């Protein structure tokens, strides 16, 4: 769990990011104006900042410059501006990553997790158990009391993605983008085949189909 500051003037985008990160177990604080960003940052023990470039009063680059005067906290720039100059300037001001709009929430989450991992703030797990089944994500293996279970690397990656987003519905497109990339020529129904294989091989009932949307990993407590 990490404390993340979202500095984004578009309220709908800001709220969507906050809800997504909260579902992943993080604490979030929202700021909608560049002038308020430094004040909130100074008042809270922030582990990571998601920072839009186009902010009222003070630009995101101006906010980043002020943050870097006193902190090396990871900063992920978020903007609709895609020109090379703006991206280079962001990295010159010591931004840690750069995501352009529109974006996949799952991919944004992956970028955030990667930054937190570098900073020692990510929740990292290597294995998970389902009854007598054990899946080792780092070793890409699975086994039960009868021995090894034959899973493909992509099946294990898909299971890990669902587990990381426990309780959150992921669309087929989000899963495809995360596992294969946005430009890979593959159809949505490929995910259905992988889900079917996971359920059969691991005897899972915790991958729930959300009709017309996608799937979620849900465990009763």
pLDDT in tens, the chain (221 residues): 789 999 999 999 999 999 888 877 788 999 999 999 988 998 989 999 999 999 999 999 999 999 999 899 999 998 887 778 787 888 888 899 999 888 888 889 889 988 988 877 655 567 888 889 999 988 999 999 999 999 999 999 999 889 888 888 888 888 888 888 766 667 778 899 999 999 999 998 899 999 988 999 987 64
Which domains occur in the chain, in start order? 3-118 (3.40.50.2300), 127-217 (1.10.10.10)
For residue 94, give the 3-state DSSP assignment: coil
Check: CB of residue 60 under 8 Å from CB of residue 52.
Answer: yes
pTM over 0.85: no
Parallel, antiparallel or unpaired: strands 214-217 and 207-210:
antiparallel
Cα–Cα distance measured from residue 8 to residue 37, given in angstroms and rounded to the nearest whole number = 10
Check: CB of residue 158 under 8 Å from CB of residue 179.
Answer: yes
Model pLDDT, residue 87: 79
């Amino acid at each position: 769990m990490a404390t993340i500051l979202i500095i984004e003037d578009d309220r709908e985008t800001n709220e969507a990011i906050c809800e997504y990160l909260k579902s992943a177990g993080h604490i979030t604080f929202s700021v909608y104006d560049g002038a308020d960003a430094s004040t909130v940052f100074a008042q809270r023990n922030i582990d990571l900042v998601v920072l839009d470039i186009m902010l009222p009063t003070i630009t995101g680059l101006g906010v980043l410059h002020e943050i870097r005067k006193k902190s090396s906290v990871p900063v992920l720039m978020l903007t609709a501006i895609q020109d090379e100059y703006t991206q280079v300037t962001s990295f010159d001001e010591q931004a840690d990553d750069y995501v352009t709009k529109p974006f996949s929430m799952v991919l944004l989450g992956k970028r955030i997790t990667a930054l937190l991992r570098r900073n020692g703030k990510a929740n990292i797990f290597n294995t998970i158990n389902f009854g007598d089944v054990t899946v080792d994500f780092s070793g890409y293996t699975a086994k039960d009391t009868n021995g090894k279970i034959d899973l493909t690397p992509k099946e294990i990656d898909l299971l890990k993605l669902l587990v990381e987003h426990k309780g959150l519905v992921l669309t087929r497109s989000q899963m495809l983008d995360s596992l294969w990339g946005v430009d890979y020529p593959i159809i949505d129904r490929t995910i259905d085949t992988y889900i079917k294989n996971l359920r059969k091989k691991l005897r899972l009932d915790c991958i729930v189909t959300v009709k017309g949307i996608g799937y979620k990993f849900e465990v009763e407590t």
